[in-house]
Structure 1
Amino acid sequence: MDHHHAGRVEAALSAGGAARSALVASWQRSASLHHLRPGEHRPPNRVDDRTLSRHREGSSHLLSVVQPNLDHLYAAVGNSGCCVLLADKDGILIERRGAIADDETFEGWGLWTGTVWDERSEGTNGIGTCLAEGRALTVYRDEHFFTRNIGLSCTTAPIHDEHGQLIAALDVSSCRNDLTRDVMRLIAMAVTDAARRIETENFRRAFSKARIVIVGEESSLGPARLIAVDQDDLVIGATRAARQFLSLSSEQMRIPLPASDLLADRRDLAQSGLEKAERSALQRALARAGGNVSAAASQLGISRATLHRKMKRLALRHRVP
């Protein structure tokens, strides 16, 4: 089995399959970039307790957000003989959930806090490849690079912070040989959903004093597209999914952007900046006055006739004549 898997990996690399397959591309990185050999046998790479503590401290804010989500995810998948793992951006496992009866087995496989699962150490695997490619994926048994890892099945989703930066990977792994691809697909959905909840909660905490707005149509299938809007109607934060949806670069996000500019419809785009500001001011005054034009005009310090002219020009309606 060892020789067969190593030969399969080497044959795929020799055939130049990296251009056609994301899996083979990861195998290629493992062999060419990290100088690993599929058949080599060595124990998992583990950091010492001091290093692990340092990495946990560096992710302390995330850990405070993630704990209940790890518990919820483990409650959903634990009976399938799986463990739940959280790795930081360096691929170091900093938190886990698993059955006590399976601890010895999982620790032997390296599915334990302090183990390093980046591609540099373990070649193609769920956590390392997710961090390298920044996407959710499943690595099923002999899709792993190392022969010693082909008994594992891993499904992983990336976690991005409030600035859209990749900071962690959430993983469910199993060493059961009867775990089918269909079951792994169901587990992958649970992992992706948990990662979405973590990103959303982290974003809301980071911008706790701002108004959180969903951009576009909300979907339960992908990461949340959220923006944070302050009291001046300026966008001060956006999730990675929102940045992609709105085509916002990190450079553009360095300075707060008017929410109306990002969320404008075609009619708004045809208006000048002054018209947009005037329209917003009139709408706020009318809202405060319950639609009463006379009261709104009094708030604004203009006559009722002047307000009517402005409303007609800007196509504003009111509920009370």
Structure 2
Amino acid sequence: MPETRPTTTPPATRHEDRVAQASQSPGAVTRLAASWRRSMVKHGLDPARPPVQHRLTERELALRIERMDRFIAVARPQLDQLFQLVCPTGCNLLLTDPEGIVLEHRVSEGDAATFRDWGLWRGMDWSEEVQGTNGIGTCLAEGRQVTIHRDEHFYASNTGLSCMDAPIWGPDGRLIAALDVSSARADHTERLNALIAAQVAHSARAIEAAFFRVSFPGARIITAQAPGSDEAGLLIAVDKDDLAIGANRAARRAFGLEKEGQLRPRPASDLLGRDDDTTGFEKAERAAVIRALARAEGNVSAAARALGVGRATLYRRMQRLGISENPGRLSRG
């Protein structure tokens, strides 16, 4: 009897075959394979075919920009700063809406033609539904920071790109944008991409924090820390009555608040709890009051005006936070 050898599936050599093979299993074990499977099975895309380049009309793009004009205005300084850092490396910078439509981009004149040919331009659709696995689309689909390096893209025609992306969350806890830096240079290593990705994430958080602050005019913005949590970047908006009226996504998750939408106002002290130990929130509030008093050279009335509260309210806070009035240093004003 001839020996029967077990049959094995030969490894795929072409990119499109490798994507198709990895997408066949419903239980894709990696995030990349899961994204490839979504692209092929859910969105019906073929990695061997060139992607359909979908670009909005000028009117359609103008309407989207108008809806997000306040956010874009806040983001622009950070976009300019980030571009100055990545421009010398031949990168393109993009800001999209939550559907993956490019609203803003920064690119040097010498690299503009290259990225225009790739479709990395204002008005282009880089959602996962259209482009398959890619930095922008996959970042938005999964709501997390991603780097899609060259042959990790779904489409074979996109494997010349490396894309570093971070999500930006709005003050209502919903995904509002993606920040992308893309490179088409073959000499960009994964190590360099990791450095760029870290800067992209930092800029995304800076945009997120800046937009949170302008979304609550007149409120004090407190950088808080949940008891037992080491998560950074927790922002709480507190009004003149000491009610917490807003919280960014990180704070919502850390304190178990409403996941999305408008925050139900609640006393800041109730939100963060009161016990014998001073909470991270109270430490931050105490520091804010002391700074205001120091800037006002001890004048309580002036400090209250700087904090946007009444003098009586400030006195109550000072008492609650254990800031005693020193007649030699504080003035009632």
Q: TM-score surpassing 0.5?
A: yes
Q: Does 1:149 align with 2:158?
A: yes
- Name the counterpart of 1:195: 204
TM-score (norm 2): 0.77
Asked if 2 retains the 8 angstrom alpha-carbon contact of 1:39 and 1:146, the reply is: yes
* Partner deviation per Cα, 1:147-183 (whole Å, 9 max, x = no partner): 1101000010111111111111000001111100000
Check the 8 A contact 1:196/1:222 in 2, yes or no.
no
Partners of 1:153 and 1:163 lie apart in 2 by 31
Alignment correspondent of 2:118: 109
* Residue 78 (structure 2) pairs with residue 69 (structure 1): yes
1:4 is the counterpart of 2:4? no
**Equivalent pair of 2:173/2:261 in contact (CA under 8 Å):** no
For 2:37, the equivalent position in structure 1 comes to: 28
Q: How does 1:1-321 map to 2 (within 5 A)?
A: 4-16=14-26, 18=28, 20-216=29-225, 224-250=233-259, 254-267=263-276
5+ residue gaps, structure 1: 270-286, 289-299, 301-310
1:233 counterpart letter in structure 2: D
Cα deviation, 1:128-152, whole Å, max 9, x if unaligned, reads: 0111111111000000001110100
What secondary structure does 2:178 align onto? Answer: strand
Letter in 2 for 1:260: S
Q: Letter of the aligned partner of 1:83 in structure 2?
A: N
Structure 2: segments with no counterpart, 5+ residues: 1-11, 279-298, 301-311, 313-318, 328-333
Instruction: Tell me the C-alpha RMSD between the 2 structures.
Output: 2.9
Size of the aligned set, in residue pairs, is: 278
Identical aligned residues as a percent:
45
How many Å apart are 1:125 and its aligned residue?
Answer: 0.4
Q: Is the contact made by 1:44 and 1:109 (CA closer than 8 Å) also made in structure 2?
A: no
Contact 1:139–1:155 (8 Å) recurs in 2: yes
Give distance in 2, aligned partners of 1:107 and 1:222: 39
For the residue of structure 2 that corresponds to 1:262, the secondary structure is: helix
Supply the distance in 1 between the matched residues of 2:58 and 2:146 (Cα, whole angstroms).
Answer: 29
Relative to structure 1, the CA distance from residue 223 to residue 99 in structure 2 (aligned partners, 3 Å threshold; closer, same or farther) is: farther
What's the counterpart of residue 282 of structure 2? Answer: none
| Residues 17, 24 of structure 1: 8 Å contact kept | no
What SS does the corresponding residue of 2:209 show, helix, strand or coil?
helix
Assess if the C-alpha contact under 8 Å between 2:172 and 2:260 holds in 1: no
Q: CA deviation at 1:257?
A: 1.0
Q: 2: distance between equivalents of 1:175 and 1:251?
A: 36
How far off its partner does 1:21 sit?
Answer: 0.5
Q: 1:320 to 1:197 in 2, by over 3 A?
A: closer
When normalised by structure 1's length, the TM-score is: 0.80
Q: Judge conservation of contact 1:90–1:118 (CA < 8 Å) in 2.
A: yes
Q: Deviations over 1:170-218 (max 9, x none)?
A: 000011111000000000011001011101110111112011111118x
- Check the 8 A contact 2:51/2:155 in 1, yes or no: no
